[in-house]
Amino acid sequence: MSDRALEQSLRRATRADLSDLPIEVAPRLLGGEVRTTVNGEEVHLRITEVEAYHGLGTGPVVDPGSHARMGQTARNSTMWGHPGHLYVYLSHGIHSCVNVVCGPEGNAGGVLLRAGEIVAGVDVAGARRALGERVPPMRDLARGPGRLGQALGLRYPHHDGIDAINGVELAGARAELWLGPPLTDIATGPRVGVAGIAGTSAFPWRFWVNGDRTVSPFRWGRGAAEASALLN
């Protein structure tokens, strides 16, 4: 299928698409797109890698790796908001990472967008990602959650909570979420950089497009390799 035909098979996500548990919604986002317009500059990102995060009481098992594991706080309150809003948080004091809020209304949950391919607005994304003179190669423009957030132009705290269903402007930005037909070749595994048991195969809540070059490399979280060895 041509890129144009593929693009035309996409449709705007609805709230209903995102009202199931994060582990159910996460694989549905693969092959879809996030489109942002920030300060008049538009970028389209094809999603190739995601991770599901639950909240306290969301789903049949507690997720010890989620920001929402301890209940609602000022930082994570967006995770309790409407499905289709974006939870943007600051990682390591530097990187703005983007989640799609999902799950039954009133429950916390989200899907972290970990990597993707820039399919429109490559120049804009490249300029945002450039460090000095050096512009990263195409493959690395949105490979990893920090890079992805930067490429899309979404930043903490200004854009935390932005509505990607209705495309409501917030702090000079608009965001849209588009979904495609279900993909058949999806891989799963432990989440990247998540500490302890939550970062092991006991929580195979990372989903990616099998064989896609833009998927980020795997890395154990603190204590996760040790915990994984004990699982046997």
Partner DNA sequence: AGTAAGATCCAC
Partner DNA sequence: TGGATCTTACTT
Smallest gap from Cβ 213 to DNA, in A, equals: 15
- Output 10 or 51, the one with its CB closest to DNA: 51
Please report, as ranges, the residues that interact with DNA according to CB under 7 A.
51, 53, 65-68, 70, 73-76, 79, 87, 89-95, 97, 99, 110, 112, 129, 131, 134, 136, 140, 143-148, 191-195, 216, 221-222
Smallest gap from Cβ 83 to DNA, in A, equals: 15
The single residue listed with the structure tokens 């939550």 is 198
- Select from 200, 195, 167, 198 the least CA-distant residue to 84: 167
The single residue listed with the structure tokens 């300029």 is 127
Smallest gap from Cβ 107 to DNA, in A, equals: 13
- What is the C-alpha to C-alpha distance for residues 215 and 209, in angstroms, rounded to an integer? 8
- Output 10 or 107, the one with its CB closest to DNA: 107
**What count of Cα atoms within 13 Å lies in the side-chain half-sphere of residue 197?**
8
- What is the C-alpha to C-alpha distance for residues 21 and 26, in angstroms, rounded to an integer? 9
- Output 44 or 67, the one with its CB closest to DNA: 67
Helix-strand-coil percent breakdown of the chain, rounded to 5? 25, 30, 50
Smallest gap from Cβ 217 to DNA, in A, equals: 9
Residue 121, SS3 per DSSP: coil
- Output 3 or 133, the one with its CB closest to DNA: 133
Smallest gap from Cβ 99 to DNA, in A, equals: 5
Residue type, 8: Q
- Output 10 or 59, the one with its CB closest to DNA: 59
Smallest gap from Cβ 68 to DNA, in A, equals: 6
The answer to whether the beta carbons of residues 184 and 51 sit under 8 Å apart is: no
The answer to whether the beta carbons of residues 52 and 23 sit under 8 Å apart is: yes
- Output 87 or 178, the one with its CB closest to DNA: 87
- What is the C-alpha to C-alpha distance for residues 173 and 41, in angstroms, rounded to an integer? 9
